[in-house]
Structure 1
C-alpha cells in the first residue's frame, strides 16, 4: 500500500512539473458578443461574416473579432550547481555526504546456534539442586 502511494505521488509530481513548464495559446473568434469557436494550438474557425464585411463597402465597422490568449509556462526550473557561491556549494556537498552516510547499514551479526533447538527440560533444575537466587 505504501509503495503504491509513493508511486502514484511521484507520477502526480512529474505531471505537475510537466504542466507547469507547458505553454500554449488559446485562439477565440467572437461574432458580435457571441463566442463562435475556441481553439488550442490552432487558429479558430470564423463564422464567415468577416468576408462579407470586406466585400460590402457600406459597412465600415466589423462585427467579428479574434482574441488570442497566451499562457506562458515556467522557465526557471534548471538550477545549476555552479550558480551557487562557495559557501552554498560547501554546505550542499557536506549535507549530501552526511545524509548518504547516515543510512549506512550495520554489519550483519553471525549467530552460530540459530539452527539448533534448545534441549528439553524434564525437571526444574533449580528445585532439584535447591539453588535459589536471593
Structure 2
C-alpha cells in the first residue's frame, strides 16, 4: 500500500496545471466575497474589493498584485509598463523637438530662479544709470 505522501510529488505538476487553468479561465470559480486564488480562503471586505486591472478578478490584499496571483497578469503588467514608458519617452522627444529649451529646463527651477535674479539686477542697474543721466541733464 503506497502512502499519500509518496503520490503527492507526482501529482503536484497536475495540480499546478489545474491551478493555472483556473486562474487563467474567465469563469469565476469562487464566491464573489472570497479571494480568487484557489489556495486562499480569505474573505474580501469592502476595502479590498478593487479587482485586478488585467484579469478583473478580486483578490485579498496579499494576492492583489499581479505578481502574487498570476503569471499571465505579470506578463500583461510588464507589457503595459513598457508601452507606458515608450509613450512617455516619445512624448518627451516630441516636446524636445518643438522647444528644446523648455525640455532642458525640466527639473532646473533653481537655475531658472538664478537667471531671473541676474536679469532683474541688470535691469535695475540699467534703470539706475538712466535715472542718474536724467538728473545730470
**TM-score of the superposition, structure 1-length normalised?**
0.26
Determine which structure has more spread, i.e. the larger CA radius of gyration: 1
**TM-score of the superposition, structure 2-length normalised?**
0.26
Report the structure, 1 or 2, having the larger helix content.
2
Higher relative contact order (CA 8 A, sep 6+): 1
Report the structure, 1 or 2, having the larger strand content.
1
